[in-house]
Amino acid sequence: VGASVAMRGCFAMMERAAGRDVTVLLEGETGTGKSQAALAIHQASPRRDAPFLIVDCGAIPAHLLESELFGHEKGAFTGAVQRRAGVFEEADGGTVFLDEIGELPAELQPKLLRVLENREIRRVGSNTYQPVNVRLLAATHRDLRAEVNAGRFRSDLFFRLAVLRLLLPPLRQRPEDLPMLVEGILDLLGADRERTGALRTQDFLARLRHAAWPGNVRELRNYLERCLVFEEAVELSEEEAHRSGPPEVDPSQPYADQRRHVVDDFERRYLRALLEKHQGKVAQAAVTAGMDRVHLYRLLRRHGIKP
């Protein structure tokens, strides 16, 4: 979901990728939607009616991952009581999505390279290769080129994976997409529009624009789910509210409104840090802040902060 320049560029590349049977490497920070992008490419491709199977390379132990990908013969190892087809066989005619490909163990990298180059696999415990008809998509939050330079990832496998590289932008680089994302996520969560009007106001969206969202769209969804539990716009967590750079400005909004949002954000962060420094003792905090204690109490009440 998005209408920003960055996302329109992604959509155009995804459309081109879907039309051709090329290997795609999806890159980007965690929570940017790489899995959804992979599914969208599959659903728009000629393979849409065939299976779409996902393997998380970082979640499966190395000694089990080979069997998960390529299958095994009966008796290939302890516990292999029958033959098992791997993901590449099960996805015949469809798409295999390897999530977190940067976590793939070094010993399996040449075997995956053979799949990409020759479209054939060998089950664990077998002496013969068999052809497979699959399309491969992969995703990573790592910089694979840096991993290659560090010797942790094979260069030949990287180049076979990166036939088409698609970088999904972090949420902080496309704040103009927030209204569409909020609407889409709330609809996906089945939110009642009448009871969640506070989550669609300009003030609420402005607060979201000023947050850092290190977890990107996944973190935004989690926050909106939290709001739905309480049926109101709850406070952003410290991680969500932390900003790594200067605040975003929206020139389409009045100057006074933008200035108020920035000042409010500064006051909230200053007051929380001030109270933390003095273990909630308002009298000492007021002395450090150089303000009257009554005025400090008034600011705390205004921002809903309890000493």
130-156 pLDDT, tens digit per residue, is: 999 999 999 999 889 989 998 999 999
pLDDT of residue 248: 60
Query: 183, 213 in Cβ contact below 8 A?
Result: no
- Supply the DSSP symbol for 21: -
pLDDT of residue 299: 87
Question: What DSSP letter does each residue of 28-84 carry, written as one string?
Answer: -STTS-HHHHHHHHHHTSTTTTS-EEEEETTTS-HHHHHHHHHEE-TTSSTT--S-E
CA distance 101 to 160: 13
Q: Residues 84-99: what's their mean pLDDT? A: 95
Residues in Cβ contact with 297 at an 8 Å cutoff, skipping those fewer than 6 apart: 282
Per-residue pLDDT band at 157 (split at 50, 70, 90):
very high
Higher pLDDT, 42 or 206: 42
pLDDT of residue 171: 94
CA distance 47 to 42: 7
CA 277 to the chain's CA centroid = 34
Q: Residues 220-236: what's their mean pLDDT? A: 89
Region of poorest pLDDT, from 38-42, 56-60, 246-250: 246-250
pLDDT at residue 257 tops 90 = no
Higher pLDDT, 238 or 65: 65
CA distance 241 to 224: 14
Higher pLDDT, 260 or 209: 209
Region of poorest pLDDT, from 78-92, 107-121, 166-180, 219-233: 78-92
3-state helix, strand, coil in the chain (%, to 5): 50, 10, 40
Distances in Å between the Cα of 74 and the Cα atoms of 89, 107, 124 are 16, 22, 9
- Which of 212, 275, 277 has its CA nearest to residue 245? 212
Q: Residues 107-132: what's their mean pLDDT? A: 92
Q: Residues 251-262: what's their mean pLDDT? A: 72
Strand locations in 134-277 (E): 135-140, 164-167
Per-residue pLDDT band at 250 (split at 50, 70, 90):
low
Query: 240, 212 in Cβ contact below 8 A?
Result: yes
Q: Does an H or E element contain 85, and which?
A: strand 84-85
Is residue 96 classed as helix, strand or coil in its secondary structure?
A: strand
Q: Residues 6-33: what's their mean pLDDT? A: 95
pLDDT of residue 244: 46
pLDDT at residue 238 tops 80 = no
pLDDT of residue 253: 67
- Beta-ladder partners of 71: 85
Q: How far separated are the first and last CA of the chain, in Å rounded?
A: 40
Q: Does an H or E element contain 130, and which?
A: strand 130-131
Query: Which of 300-304's residues contact partners 24+ apart within 8 Å by CB, and which partners?
Result: 300/271, 303/264, 303/267, 303/268, 303/271, 304/235
Per-residue pLDDT band at 275 (split at 50, 70, 90):
confident
- Supply the DSSP symbol for 306: -
Q: Residues 75-90: what's their mean pLDDT? A: 83
- Which of 239, 300, 292, 240 has its CA nearest to residue 272? 300
Amino acid at 70: F
